[in-house]
Amino acid sequence: MTETRVGLGFDLHRLVEGRPCILGGITLPHVKGPQGHSDGDAVLHALTDALLGAAGLDDLGTLFPDTDERWKGADSATLLGAAMERLREARWTVNNADIVIATEGPKIAPHRAAMRARMAELMGTDVERVNVKGKSLEGLGALAGGTGVAVQAIVSLERL
Ligand code: MG
């Protein structure tokens, strides 16, 4: 019998000047980038938490604490790779992932295809199983004017 699970991830980072704008595993041309210990890739952080959540494997900060030398300043793609390794050990495969990136910072639409391809590659799955969409915030709330990026990710996993 096939077992199916879903997991939810969320992340929020401030966008500041002088940081590369790395989101969804790619670098976007933008004057500000996400603040953080690592590259601050809020998209990969939300996705990784959704994957771990679906598999019942705790969360990003608990499994890969930045107080541990191995993970200190680690690139978010490496953390996602380490999470995927745990999933594979538990025989989980990715059905699909769907991601919403809410920001008034970098334009997401021109980079959706590249993000999907990169995240599919990192998860070892097909690009049509990974979806990304950008949402503007209508100038409302604390993230108005491109001060930050908020990300929601949902993932479905399957194992036989
Ligand atoms: Mg984060």
Per-residue pLDDT of the chain (160 residues; tens, 9 = 90+): 899 999 999 999 999 999 999 999 999 999 999 998 889 999 999 999 999 999 999 999 999 888 888 887 789 999 999 999 999 999 999 999 999 999 999 999 999 999 999 999 999 999 999 999 999 999 999 899 999 999 999 999 999 8
Q: Residue 38: in which H helix or E strand, if any?
A: none
Query: Residue 124 and residue 126: Cα distance in Å, rounded?
Result: 7
Query: Residue 101 and residue 29: Cα distance in Å, rounded?
Result: 16
Whole-number Å distance, alpha carbon 19 to ligand 1 midpoint, is: 15
pLDDT of residue 101: 98
Question: How many CA atoms lie within 13 Å of 96's alpha carbon, on the beta-carbon side?
Answer: 7
Whole-number Å distance, alpha carbon 11 to ligand 1 midpoint, is: 5
Whole-number Å distance, alpha carbon 34 to ligand 1 midpoint, is: 9
Closest CA to 130 of 82, 84, 71: 84
Residues with CB under 5 A from ligand 1 (ion): 11, 45
Whole-number Å distance, alpha carbon 39 to ligand 1 midpoint, is: 9
